[in-house]
Amino acid sequence: MVLCTEDGHKAGTAPKAEVHTASTPLHFAFSAWLFDDCGNVLLTRRALNKLTWPGVWTNSFCGHPGPDETFEDALVRRASEELGTTVKKIESVLPSFRYRAVDASGIVENEICPVFFAEVDGELNPNPDEVCEFEWVSMENLKEAVERVPFIFSPWLVEELEQFPE
């Protein structure tokens, strides 16, 4: 994983297994929201074996860029690895999004995490080590669900949704 400084500059790398701890250093990540032809967004439920937020509903997928990888290239790679699909029309929507959250087990997420929208461009074949369920929903229904039961969603989904332009 690519570590970074408070002002967003690269500050070295570290193995993923050593980064996500109770004192996670600031690092780069990305968050992707996939849409279908009808404008519905893909929600995924994180696999139950995930280190952080297992079983929690979240946006389509997230990931970490490699040391010499653009966010867009990392997004394309992770769409294939996590969802078994391809994407098109990648659009940056929250380029400076950053968050810090602590999961129930005490593991910290501490990321500079640009957010992207993209369109799904193929069938879904989710990796069961990453995703245990998925659902296509309207943004209207998602916003209503987050308002009613925010605790079933990842903290980054809730924060991102609040910051999206209308």
The overall average pLDDT reported for the chain is 95
Lowest-pLDDT choice from 22-26, 38-42, 133-137, 152-156: 22-26
pLDDT of residue 18: 86
Q: Is 159 a catalytic residue?
A: no
- Largest CA-CA distance found in the chain, in angstroms, rounded: 41
Please answer whether residues 155 and 99 qualify as being in contact, where contact means their C-beta atoms are separated by less than 8 angstroms.
yes
Decide if 113 is catalytic.
no
Residues marked as binding for Mn(2+)?
20, 27, 64, 109, 111
Grade residue 74 by pLDDT with cuts at 50, 70 and 90: very high
pLDDT number for residue 165: 82
Q: Give tens-digit pLDDT for 40-65.
A: 999 999 999 998 999 999 999 999 99
Point out the catalytic residue in the list 111, 113, 130, 160.
111
Report, at the CATH architecture level, how domain 2-157 is classified.
Answer: Alpha-Beta Complex (3.90)
What is this structure's pTM? Answer: 0.95
Nearest to 109 by CA among 150, 64, 66: 64
pLDDT at 15: 87
**Residues of the chain with pLDDT > 90: what percent?**
92
Mean pLDDT of 53-81: 97
The residue type found at 33 is: W
Write down the pLDDT at residue 166: 72
Q: Give the pair of three-digit tokens for residue 19.
A: 């980064």
Which residues define the annotated binding site? Answer: 20, 27, 64, 82, 109, 111
Q: Report pLDDT for 17.
A: 80
Residue among 18, 62, 91, 130 flagged as catalytic: 62
The pLDDT score that the predictor gives to residue 31 is 98
What pLDDT digit, counting tens, does each position of 99-130 carry?
Answer: 999 999 999 999 999 999 999 999 999 999 99
